[in-house]
DNA sequence: CTGAAAGCGCTTACAG
DNA sequence: CTGAAAGCGCTTACAG
């Protein structure tokens, strides 16, 4: 039988575990696709640094923030927070002896480096692309109002519209959410309250899941994508490539962001060179089958 | 500053880490949805046992099987293998000092307890449901021939068909694969080689991704689901609920399977009571919008 | 260059 | 019942 060095003993002796932790909040008790892609990127980067990954999950950030401290009991050399962090966090939750990096934090955390995509620009650019294709009436299905990221996406839409002189029209921004149910309900409600009026030529949603829900609602109402209406999401999740037609969306460079998070975590010197407000990564517009030039004016069917 | 017990020291002293490992092979370099759901189930169960989860990934089972040994260096108290295990594995890769459980292994591993869904029965039951709805000509798009699971699904179809006296007809089983491209190509090819002949009334695919590819090919050919043809997948991935119409599929009790894997890993006594061939969990048929009674006979369009 | 010793931070069996 | 010691399995600084 071969000799097999014991990891716990090595860790104790060397003072490092060669492992990094990833803490996520489960929304609705489930890990989501966005987290899956982040995890994938982190794992890839960690393997390059010869580090293992330990996954910590929380159900409710407000109630369990104190658990973060227990993750820092020496079993990881650093922690990536891949959680929206809806609640404000007090620094006491973050022990000083472990490096932290947050990925796409909702609120910037005191003393924690944050990495996020440029949601404002991504959203604004998508809207401008649609306008370039001659869309003028563009409905926006917003995300959860209490989330910073959703707010930035909405602001991107508003900015692009008003810059092109298309703002103004009421009822062109509706409340939605980040789930497909939210998107579906939002569209069904809009269609009900706007019977006999003309349909917008495009819909932009705060994320892919919401856009997929919209597509469902449109399909049920007999409205064809992209013939009657164009639709776009945000995130480029795997699901966006699996709808028919495939969903146009805004891609975040998740692998690059995750790799950077790992690099910063493992190299204290690199952390010094990052501005305190964190790193913002550019996004990329992906136009797919769900977007076309507006073809015909369509009126919302009556009862 | 508070006292914070060091996990490495505790582990060294007590001889256990309070952590379990999950090893997965990345297909195409990416964690997939199926793995996400498994991971989610494992995390839930592990939290109940107050254990953490460490994720190990491999790109190629054949080349990296030896790495399994390095996962067993004392950093985990047990290892769940969530990998298809395409290659035959020799027992030397599995150190005796760490408990193993495999989830849905392609080949049973010597001395490793395996947990899997009843793919044969799931597939057979779905086919019988279609037959009950008066479908008689049911096309089967098979998965990768070298995978045990795909073979069992195909056998389930064959068994159900022949039991209902519907076997016989040639060209009703086509080669496919587990990706949406595979499904799409399979259908396009079938349609091309069967011009002018009558369309089957239903298609059963080896998994959801393949079925989604089929739906795309059908949509491009102007064949309506479920009006012209019904279609069913297998796995109940998130994507299956996001197609239009939503895909009928066979659900595996992934959370229950993952929980059982964790329980067995952590309780040696429980392991003794399991038969050496492992545990087989029942599946559930989900009939959604993609399946209907056959309505009209449709002929494959010519050139 | 080699080998014995100290120390990492805990837990637990043992002596007082 | 309390407190000092041994031991978990490594690494590394130090003595020979």
For A73, the closest of B7, B57, B74 (CB atoms) is B7
- Nucleotide in closest CA–C1' contact with A14: D11
User: Which residue ranges in chain B fall short of pLDDT 50?
Assistant: none
- Nucleotide in closest CA–C1' contact with A6: D9
- Nucleotide in closest CA–C1' contact with A10: D10
pLDDT at residue B296, rounded to an integer? 72
pLDDT at residue A49, rounded to an integer? 94
Say if strands A138-141 and A52-58 run parallel, antiparallel, or are unpaired: unpaired
pLDDT at residue A45, rounded to an integer? 94
CB < 7 A contacts with chain D (nucleic strand) = A 3-6, 9-10, 12-14; B 9, 12-13, 15
Residue A251 phi/psi, 5-degree rounding, is -90, 135
Nearest alpha carbon to residue A21 among A91, A87, A88, A95: A95
> What residues contact residue A173 under an 8 Å CB cut-off, 6+ apart?
A139, A140, A142, A154, A157, A158
CB-based contact A100:A94 (threshold 8 Å) = yes
Which one is predicted more confidently, A98 or A60?
A: A98
pLDDT at residue B295, rounded to an integer? 86
pLDDT, tens digit, 9 for 90 and up, residues A176-213: 999 889 999 999 999 999 999 999 999 999 999 999 99
> What residues contact residue B273 under an 8 Å CB cut-off, 6+ apart?
none
> What residues contact residue B75 under an 8 Å CB cut-off, 6+ apart?
A7, A8, A17, A19, A52, B17, B19, B21, B54
Distance from C-alpha of B264 to C-alpha of B112, rounded to nearest angstrom: 11
Start-to-end C-alpha separation, chain A: 77
Residue identified by tokens 């067993």 is: B72
Distances A19 to A72, A197, B60, B253 between C-alpha atoms, Å: 11, 58, 22, 31
A206 C-beta neighbours (distance < 10 Å), count:
31
pLDDT at A163 over 60: yes
Q: Round the average pLDDT of chain A to a whole number and report it.
A: 90
Measure, in angstroms, how far nucleotide D11 C1' is from residue B1 CA. 28
Nearest alpha carbon to residue B77 among B5, B4, B22, B9: B22
Q: Per-residue confidence at A37, pLDDT binned at 50, 70, 90?
A: confident
Average of per-residue pLDDT across A43-50? 92
Provide the shortest C-alpha distance from residue A243 to chain B (in Å): 6
pLDDT, tens digit, 9 for 90 and up, residues B85-104: 666 777 777 888 899 999 99
Q: Per-residue confidence at A62, pLDDT binned at 50, 70, 90?
A: confident
Angle between helix B33-48 and A33-48 (nearest 10)? 90
Is the backbone peptide bond immediately before B226 cis, with ω within 30 degrees of 0? yes
Measure, in angstroms, how far nucleotide C13 C1' is from residue A80 CA. 40
The reply to whether the CB atom of residue B134 sits less than 7 A from any atom in nucleic acid chain C is no
Is the backbone peptide bond immediately before B292 cis, with ω within 30 degrees of 0? no
Measure, in angstroms, how far nucleotide D1 C1' is from residue B166 CA. 80
pLDDT, tens digit, 9 for 90 and up, residues B207-249: 999 999 999 899 889 999 999 999 999 999 877 887 878 899 9
Provide the shortest C-alpha distance from residue A126 to chain B (in Å): 23
| CA closest to A38 among chain B residues | B31
Which one is predicted more confidently, A247 or B302?
A: A247
Q: Which helix (H) or strand (E) holds B20?
A: strand B19-25
Residues of B in contact with A237 (CB under 8 A): none
| CA closest to A213 among chain B residues | B242
Q: Which helix (H) or strand (E) holds B259?
A: helix B254-266
Distance from C-alpha of A58 to C-alpha of B56, rounded to nearest angstrom: 21
Say if strands A249-251 and A284-286 run parallel, antiparallel, or are unpaired: antiparallel
pLDDT at residue A29, rounded to an integer? 62
Distances A4 to A12, A16, B123, B197 between C-alpha atoms, Å: 16, 18, 44, 64
Q: Is the dihedral of CA A221, A226, A231, A232 positive or negative?
A: positive
- Nucleotide in closest CA–C1' contact with A12: C8
Q: Which helix (H) or strand (E) holds A136?
A: none
E strands, chain A, where?
A: 19-25, 52-58, 79-81, 100-103, 113-117, 138-141, 173-174, 202-205, 230-232, 249-251, 279-281, 284-286
Q: In terms of DSSP H, where are the helices of B133-220?
A: 148-163, 180-193, 208-220
Q: Per-residue confidence at A262, pLDDT binned at 50, 70, 90?
A: very high
Q: Among A116-125, A260-269, B102-111, B217-226, where is mean pLDDT lowest?
A: B102-111
> What residues contact residue B8 under an 8 Å CB cut-off, 6+ apart?
A8, A11, A12, A17, A74, A75
For B95, the closest of A4, A31, A242 (CB atoms) is A4
pLDDT at residue B28, rounded to an integer? 65
Could you say which nucleotides of strand D lie within 7 A of any protein CB atom?
7-12
pLDDT at A32 over 70: yes
Could you say which nucleotides of strand C lie within 7 A of any protein CB atom?
7-12
Mutate to test the interface with B, among A75, A182, A187 (most CBs of B within 10 A): A75
The reply to whether the CB atom of residue B7 sits less than 7 A from any atom in nucleic acid chain C is no
């Amino acid at each position: 039988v071969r000799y097999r060095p014991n990891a716990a003993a090595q860790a104790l002796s060397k003072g490092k575990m060669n492992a990094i932790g990833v803490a996520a909040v489960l929304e609705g008790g489930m890990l989501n696709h966005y987290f899956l892609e982040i995890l994938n990127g982190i794992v890839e980067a960690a393997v390059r640094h010869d580090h293992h990954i330990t996954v910590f999950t929380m159900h409710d950030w407000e109630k369990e923030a104190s658990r973060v401290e227990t993750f820092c009991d020496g079993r990881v050399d650093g922690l990536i927070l891949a959680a929206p962090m809806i609640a404000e966090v007090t620094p006491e939750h973050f022990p000083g002896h472990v490096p932290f990096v947050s990925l796409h934090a909702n609120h910037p955390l005191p003393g924690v480096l944050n990495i996020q995509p440029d949601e404002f620009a991504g959203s604004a650019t998508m809207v401008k692309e649609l306008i370039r294709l001659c869309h003028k009436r563009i409905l926006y299905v917003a995300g959860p109002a209490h989330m910073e990221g959703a707010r930035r996406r909405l602001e991107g839409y508003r900015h692009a519209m008003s810059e092109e002189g298309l703002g103004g029209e009421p009822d062109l921004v509706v409340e939605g959410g980040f789930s497909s149910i939210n998107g579906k309900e939002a569209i069904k409600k809009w269609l009900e309250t706007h019977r006999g009026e003309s349909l917008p030529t495009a819909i932009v949603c705060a994320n892919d899941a919401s856009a997929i829900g919209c597509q469902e609602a449109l399909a049920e109402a007999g409205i064809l994508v992209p013939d009657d209406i164009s639709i776009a999401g945000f995130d480029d999740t795997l699901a966006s490539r699996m709808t028919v037609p495939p969903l146009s969306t805004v891609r975040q460079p998740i692998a690059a962001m995750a790799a950077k998070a790992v690099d910063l975590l493992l190299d204290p010197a690199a952390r010094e060179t990052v501005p305190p407000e964190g790193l913002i990564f550019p996004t990329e517009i992906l136009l797919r089958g769900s977007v076309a030039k507006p073809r015909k004016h369509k009126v919302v069917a009556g009862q």
